[in-house]
Structure 1
Amino acid sequence: MKKNWDIKLPRVLVLPIFFIALLFGTLETLAQDCPSLVSPADGTNMVSVDSSISWEAVAGVPGYIISLGTTIGGNDILNERNVGASTNYISPTGLPENTEIFVTITLFFFNQPNIVCESQSFTTAALSEVPDCSPNISPADTANDINTATNIIWGAAPGASGYYLTIGTTLNGSEILNNADVQNTLSYNPSIDLPAETDIYITVIPYNRIGLATGCSTTIFTTAAAAELPLCTSMVSPVNGETNVPLSPTLEWNEIANATGYRVSIGTSPFETNILENAILFKASTTIIDFEPNRTFFITIIPFNEAGEAIGCTQETFSTILGCGPYYDPVSGELLVLNPSLTFPDTISLCRGNTSDTITAPDEADGYRWYKLDGRGNETLISSTANVSITEEGDYIYEAYDIFEDSGRSFECSSSKTFQATISQAPVIENVDVQISANSLNYIISTAANGDYEYALDNENGPYQNSNQFNGISFQNHTIFVRDKKGCGIAKRLVTQDLTVNGFPSFFTPNGDGINDFWQFIPPIETGENNVSVIFIFDKFGSLLAQIAPNTDGWNGSFNGKSLPESDYWFKAFSTNNKIIKGHFSLKR
């Protein structure tokens, strides 16, 4: 059964906690249609060099990679730029004029190969006039206390194919950089720091094949006292380009020794900061609660100190896992997951010789997998149904998964655990050693094979004990039960009393204390087992002392009303089938 996935995710929150959820899903490979160019459309001519390139959104595609070149499949203009889920791209420096430009869109996936689409093209118009001047030169005009290690940055001028840059310490001065052609770039990093506490004059003049921009003004800023800027940092977790990142990750980056803080921005495309915008953090990590699944995120981290911000820090990316959670629920404050809950035990027992060793999954899920682990931890799939037959001891993996649908795609949310299978067998009673002790019996039970067994007397339902010995048992017939603790069966044996040995006490103590004052045969409790008709008692010289019947209290140790001394005495018993049983016992006072 496939489930419709309709979960509303709350806004992303930044919390100073450490939470990483390690959850994985598997994306089914689906046939995908490649998108068509929307603007400029495929085959369009006379396209402006500062045009935005946009394409159709494709259902079920988590991201796009764009390349631009002057040949089919080429990337000499732009080499495989990941734009996340955005469906448009604007070249920061503009497109070359009067050129057929080939656009190659690659559909980006997490758990299946990317799909490289067929190239489409459009042709840019020829330029007809010189470019405008560059907007937004940084540092801004009249700015003060600018770090001496600053970069010079300017905005793209429409129609420009390059820029001339002049830097001096006086108006129209050029002693730092004299009208240098910096090509089609939008920044310049001076080879040495600018002089401290000095007015710096900047002139940027865009150009193209027609000529130079005219009327471009000079900006001025003043540098601060010499100070050391922090260096840029890089991501530690997740690393740049990592996929399958949990939805609530702790983001960590390399700590910069002289940085007092970090300015962090995160967006769903290279051009947005819609998740986090210039958040100021004072340690080299932060936790994000509830990223959207199946998306690529773009993060920029800029260290800063009292001297200013690090210069030239690059943007990095990471991609989240499929949408199994955890999802942060702002109402309950709990983390919700779509993975099945497992109740499977850590250990199962198999019964040796059982022809049906089938294990059934106890948990409700859309599907199941069972794996056998070898000594090196390698997995072998042995079943993909709710049932599995296991015939040998060892380590196994049980996996249950649910299937969800999102944007036309199906994916799994799975849970798994490792369990151990052990072999046991039904008990077989080999012997019961009956020992006579005073006026009672002791049983010692032996089984045909060693096993994890427990023992009970006279009742199959117990109570059971771990010891194989029972002490102080009455002179009656008893039933022994031996049960395998792992459920492989119960063995039982009836232990009857032999008249040649058992049932006749080995001694008695006729001292009037009410305990063991009479000597008498103790018949079995079962009906019909009392087969003794009469018992004669003699002294050691063979003189008859007493004659007793089984239904009396027994002999009290006297003759003609006189108590006899401590000694050994003899008995002769006659059974109902004329069998004679002889033996002796002790009289103790």
Structure 2
Amino acid sequence: MQKKLLYLFLTLICSLGYGQECPSLISPPNGSLQVPVFNNISWEPVAGVTGYIISLGTTPGGTEIVNEQSVGSTNSYQPPLGLPENTEIFVTITLFFFDQPDIVCPSQSFITETIDQAPLCTSLSNPINGSVNINPSTNLTWDYAYSAQGYRITLGTTPAGGDILNDFDVGNVLSYNPPTDLPPNTQIYVEITPYNSIGATSCSAASFATSTEAILPNCATMISPLNGAINVPLTPFLEWTEIPGAIGYHVSIGSSPFISDVLDNVTFSANSTFVLNFEPNRTFFITIVPFNSAGEAIGCSQESFSTVLGCGPYYDAATGELITRNPEINFPDTISFCQSETPFVIYSPDTADGYRWYKLDDFGNETLISENKEVSLTEKGQYRYEAYNVISQSANTIECPSSKEFSVISSEIATITSMNITGPSNNFTITVETTGSGDYEYALNNINGPYQDSNVFGPVPLDSNYTVYVRDKNGCGIAEKNIEQDLTLEGFPKFFSPNGDGINDFWQYIAPPITNELTIDTIYIFDRFGNFLVEIDTESQGWDGMHKGKALPASSYWFKVVLEDGKPLQGPFALKR
């Protein structure tokens, strides 16, 4: 992801990560109404964040008011030009990190007030009213006038005169660079008129006196090390271009673009210096501003260099990217194997110069088990995977590793122990009970699914032809069982064939021969749709397959009994012709 040299902006669409949470607006709170157009915007500080970038617009994520403005580590921002009136303003905060992708937070919004009067007057901030010896090439700056939507400027050599610039509309800005230098050794009068949709405000003029003509110096650039250089010694000799007309240089160096923690605007009379004991494997940002009696050079840009790199991250000036020499790894947290298929082989999905695999014991001790792209495993437990790149750097060879701990679990095909049936006879629920160490999912009547995580099906129509499939999610196999097979209850026949051949012509409960006889008075018979057909007692011959004088067709039927303890019992059986 590109990070530019001056502010390291990053536009990133992502979900949140790295443990950081996006801040809420403090002032104004999200959803506020009638917010002043010059309201300071502040938000909750976020621990561990290098800095913040703010954007303001009239749509979510919009940037037409403020476009990705870095505010460093300060959790507030004052829009220098104010905000448009009676408008919903969307605030987008980006969390800036030096060594990982930035986090773009969801936009929050508020609505500004409606302006009903012309703006207040402003005042000249550079040059200050009444100042003298001002460089004729100076720029003009002024303070924000509350509710102003633009400004007109008049410049002259007499009060209210417009001989240099007459009532010129500069738009909604707070500075103006005259296209030509002002007259030297002259009293200059400046009148700034702020305006908005209500009207304009006539304000008194300010003035300053120019000096004799002088020329500001140009900016300098780094000679040693060059901008973007890497492997810079920890005690380097810094040298920059010598600028004609400069009497000195203000130098700032920081370990991030936002701070000057190494040198803070230190003055040098020469165009070089030694700096002792830079940190290793860091990128440093340097700004050099030449100056003379006329003032400082304008618009000097920030440059960077990196000390002995190691594995990074470091800034690549050619591409504008942060470079890390460690391989990217994409490895799961958990891997499962089938108990029937050991040993099993894991292959690294990543591109790297080398690989290592370690087995971890209960105390965190590591045992190296492979130095290949693949590893053969026979047992579950905790492991660590490592991929590394080999880097030649400053006549040395180093390894840049990335690693990931992962768990190995075992899995197996399920064993279906039972299928419990509950509910009314015409609309029942099937609950599948299993054993096994796998992670299972369930399907009814189709081995191809759809599968569900729940082991409960229903309510489903009354039928004896259901088959349940239990699939191991880790690919160890599919178990199946037919509901009719599972529901065969001792003493209740699975089928009968009332065809007059003297064999199985009646369906009746037959008490088990040993000790499991049930105490039953009446048995109720239903068709597969839950319609009641007939009741029989256990002392009779049983049911002959007739209903209202008609022989019923071959199909699935159901019985239901109520035991002596009040517990219901039911199950299917088949009538065969």
Higher relative contact order (Cα pairs below 8 Å, separated by 6+ residues): 1
State the TM bucket, normalised to the shorter chain.
0.3 to 0.5
Larger Rg: 1
Q: If the length of structure 2 is used for normalisation, what is the TM-score?
A: 0.46
Alignment TM-score, normalising by the size of structure 1: 0.45
